[in-house]
Amino acid sequence: MHQGQSARNEKEWSAFQRKFRSEIKQSGAERILDLLAALSHTADFSLGCYCQDENRCHRSVLRQMLVERSAAFAEL
C-alpha cells in the first residue's frame, strides 16, 4: 500500500497528490505522460497497479494528468 491509499482524510490525500505531481515533474516523467497522451490517439494501451481503491490511488492522479494533456480514453 502506498501513501495515497493510507490517506485518512482529504487533507492527507491532497498532500499526497501535490507531492506525487511534484515528483513526476522533478523526475522528467512529464515527457512520458506527454508521449502517452499523444499515443493514446492512435494506439490502445493500459496503465494499472494493484491498489484496491482507485479513488485514493496514484493511478487516479496519473489519469488526471493524462486528461490535462488531452489523452483519449476508451469508453466503458
76 residues of the chain, pLDDT tens digit each: 456 667 889 999 999 999 999 999 999 899 999 999 999 999 999 888 888 888 888 999 999 999 999 999 988 6
Q: Which pLDDT value is given to residue 6?
A: 73
Give the Å distances, CA to CA, from 13 to 32, 54, 73: 24, 12, 24
Q: Which pLDDT belongs to residue 1?
A: 46
Looking at residue 5, what is its pLDDT? 65
pTM recorded for the entire structure? 0.84
- Residue 4 CB: number of other CB atoms within 10 A? 22
Report yes or no: 36 and 66 within 8 Å, Cβ to Cβ: yes
